Amino acid sequence: MGINILYIEDNPDNMMLVKRALESRGYKLLQAMTGVLGVSTAEAEEIDLILLDINLPDIDGYEVARRIRSSSAKKSLSYVPIIAVTANALKGDAEKALSAGCDVYMSKPINIRELWARVEAFVPSPMGPKQ
Ligand code: MN
């Protein structure tokens, strides 16, 4: 029934950019604009991969990752792939994201080709390999 990617991000420009980029590769994007909404969406929906912004208006991305990994509502969230999207890779965001339970990280500004490659490393595009 398609591949569902959840993007937890409060910036509407990044949200639109990623939505267009992923839908062009056949993925379905679910959106959450706060950390708490992101956790509840991950628990409520069938999610194949999570993209996670670190700077969110309520709880930060590290806390989101910890809550997702330790969810008692949905045990499969302990291994759903999480890609952190960090604004301050040089300030240790990346290492903190990994220790909070994220699998990999990528830096802002978002590079579309890197995004496709990172996502496809976990969940192949329904449209086949990128030409
Ligand atoms: Mn943000």
Structural domains of the chain, with CATH: 4-122 (3.40.50.2300)
- Report the pLDDT averaged over residues 68-76: 96
From ligand 1's centre to the CA of 57, what distance in Å?
Answer: 7
Q: Where are the beta strands (DSSP E) in 25-91?
A: 28-32, 49-53, 82-86
pTM for the whole thing? Answer: 0.96
pLDDT > 80? residue 124: yes
From ligand 1's centre to the CA of 11, what distance in Å?
Answer: 6
From ligand 1's centre to the CA of 53, what distance in Å?
Answer: 6
Q: Which two tokens stand for residue 3?
A: 């591949």
Q: Is residue 76 a contact partner of residue 51, using CB atoms and an 8 Å limit?
A: no
90 closest CA partner among 105, 112, 101? 105
Between 95 and 66, name the one with better pLDDT. 66
Percent of the chain with pLDDT over 90: 88
pLDDT at 89: 67
pLDDT at 129: 80
